[in-house]
Amino acid sequence: MMISGDGFFITSKAGQQLYTRAGAFDMDAAGRLVSPDGGILQGWSAANGAVNLGGPVGPIALSPNTTSAAVATTKASLDGNLPSDAAVGPAWSARSRCTTPTAPPAA
């Protein structure tokens, strides 16, 4: 996962709340999202579709059987930066086609 803008993920490890911007979480045997160092991702629970942002945070657990319908990506953009001393010149553009394989590559 990633955070856009300011903010941090909250994890809990050995009774301490820790903050990180690294979003490399895996699911443990209990369905909790955990960081590589074993911190358990924290967040607010929803009740009847409403999230109480003033309530305490707790472990985020997901059922391994939870699914959602796939939605095709229809548009993407790419932005970049140039060095301030880059030469002024004509604009550059390119077209690209992205595809998703339907089967894993052969070993």
d(CA 66, CA 25): 17
Domain span holding position 34? 1-45
pLDDT at 94 over 70: no
Is the pLDDT score of 106 beyond 70? no
Whether pLDDT at 92 is above 70: no
Specify if 9 maps to a domain. yes
Total domains, the chain: 1
Contact 32, 44 (CB under 8 A): no
Residues paired with residue 58 on neighbouring β-strands, in sequence order:
43
C-alpha 70/C-alpha 91 separation (Å) is 36
Residue 70 lies in a domain: no
Residue 91 has pLDDT above 80, yes or no: no
Write down the pTM of the prediction: 0.58
The whole-chain average pLDDT of the chain stands at 82
Type of residue numbered 104: P
87 Cα distance to chain centroid: 36
- For residue 11, pLDDT over 60 is answered with yes
Per-residue pLDDT at 23 exceeds 90: no
Mean pLDDT of 74-84: 79
Instruction: Look at residue 40 in the predicted model and tell me its pLDDT.
Output: 95
Q: Domain for residue 52, yes or no?
A: no
Residue 71 included in any domain: no
Q: Is the dihedral of CA 103, 104, 105, 107 positive or negative?
A: negative
Asked if residue 26 is part of any domain, the answer here is yes
The predicted pLDDT at position 46 comes to 83
